[in-house]
Amino acid sequence: MSDLKNKIDDLLMKVNKPARYTGGEINSVTKDVNKVKIRFAFAFPDVYEVGMSHLGLKILYSLMNERDDTYCERVFAPWVDMESLMRERDIPLFSLETKTPLNMFDVIGFTLQYELSYTNILNMLDLSKIPVRSKDRKGYPLVIAGGPCAVNPAPLSDVVDLFVIGDGEEIINEILDLVISCKKDNVPKEELLRRASKIQGAYVPSLYVETYNDDNTIKSIKPVEDGIPVVIKRRIVKDLDKTYHPDKQIVPFINIVHDRIVLEVFRGCTRGCRFCQAGMIYRPVRERSKETLIELADKLIKSTGYEEISLTSLSTCDYSQIESLVYDLIEKYKDMGTGVALPSTRIDAFSVNLLNEIQKVRKTGLTLAPEAGTQRLRDVINKGVTEEDLVNSTKEAFKAGWKSVKLYFMLGLPTETMEDVKGISDLAHLVADVYKDVNGTTRGLKITVSTSTFVPKPFTPFQWYPQDDMESIINKQNYLKELLRGKIFSYNWHEPNMSFLEAVISKGDRKVGQAIIKAWESGCKFDGWDEQFKFDKWLEAFESIGVDPKFYAYKKRDFDEVFPWDIVDVGVRKDYLKREYKKAIEGRLTGDCRLYCTGCGIKDLDEGVVCFEA
Amino acid sequence: MKLRAKFKKDGDLRYISHLDLMRTIERAMRRAQIKFSLSKGFNPHPLISFGPALSMGAATHGDYFDVVIEGKIEPERFKRDLNKTLPNGLEIIDCYIVDDKDLLSDKVKEAEYTVDVYLMSYVIDLPDEIKRFLGRDEILIEKESKSGIKIIDLKNYILDFKMIEAKGSKITLYVKLKISEGSPGPTYVVKALDDFLGHVFDMEKILIDRRNLILN
């Protein structure tokens, strides 16, 4: 092991950001590997700075290491400079804590946050000399995967032994217990997986078969033997307030993407935006009490020394006691120079008042997400925000001294016309007018408009709707470039080819999985990174296995079509999603379900599932 | 009150940058509940200042930082408390009170280094070669600076340069240099020697340790 450490040491002066590979950070966990029963590698298929920003890693790393019988270590995708040196010198991918090669672990757990990181999973396995296909992995570590993208497990079904659907902290201990007992009794992997498949929320893809109709749609996904669940019910933490939240977080030496304490105030979202997968698959809303949060914040601040604490969730300003929580935290820690951050901001004057409070300690940027340029289209996506909201909130912000605003939109939303695209520019100009009203001039003003490309996702009302094609997106982007001229505006857009691939994989079946393996074999990795993305290699990969990617992204789906992800029950019912789809096309709104129940079905998923009640 | 702390940084912490080091010490002080003063303005930051930046990959056994503290703390206590919260690889080795007007940047004049290098080919008498190297009238090198590449004379900076140990192919050199705005680090000295000797060192495997910053 120390031999490997020396070999790694020899590389570190030759690569960018060597501290990505050293470990040893404050609050990282050291254990005697001989005194644990199971070694778990938490594998994040992107670079250190991205992976270390991820809340799920923080929770599961701490939770698993609370167990005396388990040692959870971290492993990230090495950046391409490190990878090429490792391959040249035959150095296997290793864990940060003990520099142990990945193939020496009992379990490797990948988190699936983004479809374009899937090739990195294959690459990480391969870098540890682990075969990428599960059928070739006799005698190798168990490979499991969870996270939001696992709600459609089909594309990685040939790679992953066991998927975990839902809240990881709810199920991981059962999986660890099972692996420990099977290891003790020398139970072979197939039998372990058969037993695992009976745990609620676990999906063992090798025990199911996907069949197709002549038109390439799915005919069925069925278990291959009796006694295996026909549908995988998502696991849900029922009482978040009583659920484990780490009171320590690793403090990296190098700057990571979100370099601050992350405190999860609630899970789920009640807004019901129709494009938003997270808003559907993390239901219901479950809050932590203010008392619990204040106590956790204190422990986290003391154990990390961080200068900022972020109150995180899908829509933090919706937290029922947000104002007093923010106020109390600011008062308590301002003398230490520790500030509070809100990651996603609702567009109303109330949020701006909160931001004003926050700004007393640390100046933050103002980021607002109207998502669509016209009221008509905002109604289609159920983004309950009006032009008036935007005017009021930016007015308050400019009065308080803000000079720059970031506005986030999506292009290619269902029913979008060029009029809606122009609406994006109109809103940006309107915000400029508001600034002029407040300050008498546009001097000093900076408005950044960013557009991403809409990707229809499983378990959303738009799962039946085709993605806008790449040419059309490019036209719309060019149109906005024309409209957003002038010094005060800057316009950022997203690579349309990447969004296309994201749509293909997120709605993909097992055949798409073959293409992913093929693409990786021809050199694809870090596909979410502009400078690494090789779209032509991807197209070749699809071609070589005889699959048309456009089928997955561009086909308008029938309401009675079987989807690859129908094997999973996230709790939100299909009839609710259909109803929302129809209302979207008619431009009708659905209210916030904190106010009244909109009947999504989540309460029937499981015993004890309680929705937020106002 | 203002404290001056002498610290060492080695092991894996050699791979963190100067900015990373500053953040790491700031956070360790918060964990130790040491109340440092904050600057005024939009983004308050701790009033800490460091000596000349170390290059990535270099260790130190004698660097300094100054920090302004709210209220009072015994230097010994500061050292003890902070050492409990610093990560492995960082350690405060000395701490004392200085006058508020005393600026670290005015005090740093010289630095001592050891440099480990590996020989790729045999040199008969390295100590003697170093003497020959230093015996020249001038040692001109190209040095990158903010305003582009400049020619400088190393002889204006080298106060002492010798071999202190040879173990097989591993050579340990001692370098003492003047420190001023834009002054060269020890890598330039070793590289100039390597050029002079016709490339005998493995310059990819060079290990720098700033043994001491000398304050006046």
Structure confidence at residue B40 (pLDDT): 81
Query: Do B30 and B87 reside in the same domain of the chain?
Result: yes
Residues of A with CB under 8 A from a CB of B: 10, 12-14, 18-19, 22-26, 251, 253-255, 301-307, 335-338, 361-363
* DSSP, res A288: P
Q: How confident is the model at residue B204 (pLDDT cuts 50, 70, 90)?
A: confident
Query: Do B98 and B40 reside in the same domain of the chain?
Result: yes
3-state SS class at B141: strand
Average pLDDT rounded to a whole number, residues B103-118 = 95
Direct distance between the N- and C-terminal alpha carbons of chain A, in angstroms, rounded to an integer: 56
Structure confidence at residue A595 (pLDDT): 87
Taken in order of first residue, the domains within chain A and their CATH numbers are 2-233 (3.40.50.280), 251-504+534-539+547-585 (3.80.30.20)
Rounded CA gap, B4 and B65, in Å? 6
**How high does pLDDT run on average in chain B?**
94
Q: Do A24 and B27 touch (CB under 8 A)?
A: no
Structure confidence at residue A397 (pLDDT): 86
Instruction: Give A307→chain B minimum CA distance, Å.
Output: 7
Query: Do B94 and B118 reside in the same domain of the chain?
Result: no
| Alpha carbon distances (Å) from A121 to A94, A157, A264, A304 | 14, 13, 27, 30
Rounded CA gap, A597 and A586, in Å? 21
Residue where one domain finishes, among candidates B51, B71, B102: B102
At A444, list the tokens.
Answer: 């000093």
Considering only CB atoms, B89 lies closest to which of A10, A24, A303, namely: A24
Looking at the predicted structure, is the pLDDT value of residue A314 above 60?
yes
Residue of A nearest to B69 (CA): A336
Q: Do B30 and A306 touch (CB under 8 A)?
A: yes
Q: Do B42 and A303 touch (CB under 8 A)?
A: no
Crossing angle of helices B126-134 and B186-196, in 10° steps, is 100
Structural domain count of chain B: 2
Structure confidence at residue A347 (pLDDT): 63
Closest CA to B60 of B19, B14, B28, B97: B14
Structure confidence at residue A396 (pLDDT): 86
Average pLDDT rounded to a whole number, residues A3-32 = 95
Query: Do B92 and B33 reside in the same domain of the chain?
Result: yes
* Best A307, A335, A356 residue to mutate vs chain B (most B CBs within 10 Å): A307
Structure confidence at residue B174 (pLDDT): 98
Instruction: Give B28→chain A minimum CA distance, Å.
Output: 6
Rounded CA gap, A94 and B30, in Å? 32
Structure confidence at residue A537 (pLDDT): 98
Instruction: Give B176→chain A minimum CA distance, Å.
Output: 24
Query: Do B41 and B66 reside in the same domain of the chain?
Result: yes
Considering only CB atoms, A254 lies closest to which of B20, B26, B44, namely: B20
Query: Do B121 and B28 reside in the same domain of the chain?
Result: no
Query: Do B161 and B129 reside in the same domain of the chain?
Result: yes
Residue where one domain finishes, among candidates B102, B122, B137: B102
Q: Is A502 exposed, middle or buried (0-12, 13-18, 19+ CB in 10 A)?
A: buried
3-state SS class at A338: coil
Looking at the predicted structure, is the pLDDT value of residue A210 above 90?
yes
CB A72 within 8 A of CB A61: yes
Looking at the predicted structure, is the pLDDT value of residue A345 above 80?
no
**Chain segment A484-496, per-residue pLDDT in tens:** 998 999 999 999 9
At A537, list the tokens.
Answer: 């290699």
Residue of B nearest to A26 (CA): B87
How long a stretch of residues is chain B? 216
Burial code (b: 16+ CB inside 10 Å, e: under 16) for A370-397 equals bbbbbbebbbbbbbbbebebbbbbbbbb
Instruction: Give B26→chain A minimum CA distance, Å.
Output: 8
**The CATH number of the domain where B160 resides is what?**
3.30.2350.10
How long a stretch of residues is chain A? 614
Question: How many C-alpha atoms does A394 have within 13 Å on its Cβ side?
Answer: 31
Percent pLDDT > 70 in chain B is: 100
Q: How confident is the model at residue A613 (pLDDT cuts 50, 70, 90)?
A: low
Helix intervals (H) in chain B: 18-31, 75-85, 104-107, 126-134, 186-196
At A190, list the tokens.
Answer: 């197939």
Instruction: Give B120→chain A minimum CA distance, Å.
Output: 16
Rounded CA gap, B111 and B93, in Å? 17
Return contacts of B178-182, CB within 8 angstroms, 24+ apart: B178/B109, B178/B110, B179/B52, B179/B108, B179/B109, B179/B110, B179/B111, B179/B213, B182/B143, B182/B145, B182/B150
Structure confidence at residue A517 (pLDDT): 98
Q: How confident is the model at residue A275 (pLDDT cuts 50, 70, 90)?
A: very high
Question: How many C-alpha atoms does A592 have within 13 Å on its Cβ side?
Answer: 15
Strands A142-146 and A162-164: parallel
Q: Do B31 and A26 touch (CB under 8 A)?
A: yes
Helix intervals (H) in A219-321: 277-281, 290-304
CB A305 within 8 A of CB A251: yes
Residues of B in contact with A26 (CB under 8 A): 27-28, 31, 85, 87
At B34, list the tokens.
Answer: 């040491």
Rounded CA gap, A350 and A127, in Å? 50
Helix H or strand E segment including B54: none
Residue where one domain finishes, among candidates B102, B133, B148: B102
Q: Do B44 and A361 touch (CB under 8 A)?
A: yes
Query: Do B76 and B129 reside in the same domain of the chain?
Result: no
Query: Do B118 and B211 reside in the same domain of the chain?
Result: yes
Q: Is B129 exposed, middle or buried (0-12, 13-18, 19+ CB in 10 A)?
A: middle
3-state SS class at A502: helix
Instruction: Give B12→chain A minimum CA distance, Å.
Output: 6
Q: How confident is the model at residue A348 (pLDDT cuts 50, 70, 90)?
A: low
At A239, list the tokens.
Answer: 């009482």
Residue A374: phi and psi, rounded to 5, are: -125, 160
Q: Do A24 and B30 touch (CB under 8 A)?
A: no
CB A548 within 8 A of CB A555: no
Looking at the predicted structure, is the pLDDT value of residue B106 above 60?
yes
Residues of A in contact with B69 (CB under 8 A): none
Query: Sign of torsion, CA A437 A438 A441 A446?
Result: negative
Structure confidence at residue A168 (pLDDT): 96
Considering only CB atoms, B46 lies closest to which of A23, A303, A337, namely: A337
Looking at the predicted structure, is the pLDDT value of residue A364 above 90?
no
Cβ count near B208 (within 10 Å) = 22
Percent pLDDT > 70 in chain A is: 97
**Chain segment A81-131, per-residue pLDDT in tens:** 999 999 999 999 999 999 999 999 999 999 999 999 999 999 999 999 999
Looking at the predicted structure, is the pLDDT value of residue A281 above 90?
yes
**How high does pLDDT run on average in chain A?**
94
Residues of B with CB under 8 A from a CB of A: 11-13, 15-17, 19-20, 23-24, 26-31, 33, 35, 38, 42-46, 56-57, 85, 87-89, 204-205
Left, alpha or beta for A545 (phi > 0: left; psi -120 to 50: alpha)?
alpha
Contacts of A173 (CB under 8 A, 6+ apart): A63, A67
Residue of A nearest to B25 (CA): A305
Q: Do B204 and A14 touch (CB under 8 A)?
A: yes
Rounded CA gap, A203 and A43, in Å? 19
* Best A25, A26, A85 residue to mutate vs chain B (most B CBs within 10 Å): A26
Closest CA to A241 of A302, A296, A318: A296
Looking at the predicted structure, is the pLDDT value of residue A337 above 90?
no
Residues of A in contact with B115 (CB under 8 A): none
**Chain segment B30-67, per-residue pLDDT in tens:** 999 999 999 887 677 889 999 999 989 999 999 999 99
Q: Do A24 and B88 touch (CB under 8 A)?
A: yes
Does the interface predicted TM-score (ipTM) exceed 0.90? yes
**Chain segment B81-96, per-residue pLDDT in tens:** 999 999 999 999 999 9
**Chain segment A223-240, per-residue pLDDT in tens:** 999 999 999 999 999 999
**The CATH number of the domain where B49 resides is what?**
3.30.70.580
Query: Do B117 and B209 reside in the same domain of the chain?
Result: yes
Instruction: Give B23→chain A minimum CA distance, Å.
Output: 8
Looking at the predicted structure, is the pLDDT value of residue B102 above 60?
yes
Structure confidence at residue A346 (pLDDT): 66
Query: Do B121 and B52 reside in the same domain of the chain?
Result: no
Structure confidence at residue A360 (pLDDT): 66
A368: which strand partners? A407
Looking at the predicted structure, is the pLDDT value of residue A539 above 60?
yes
Owning domain of residue B118: 109-215
Looking at the predicted structure, is the pLDDT value of residue A359 above 80?
no
Rounded CA gap, A264 and A253, in Å? 23
Question: How many C-alpha atoms does A599 have within 13 Å on its Cβ side?
Answer: 8
Query: Do B12 and B91 reside in the same domain of the chain?
Result: yes
CB B172 within 8 A of CB B164: yes
Average pLDDT rounded to a whole number, residues A323-329 = 93
Residues of B in contact with A18 (CB under 8 A): 15, 56-57
B142: which strand partners? B151
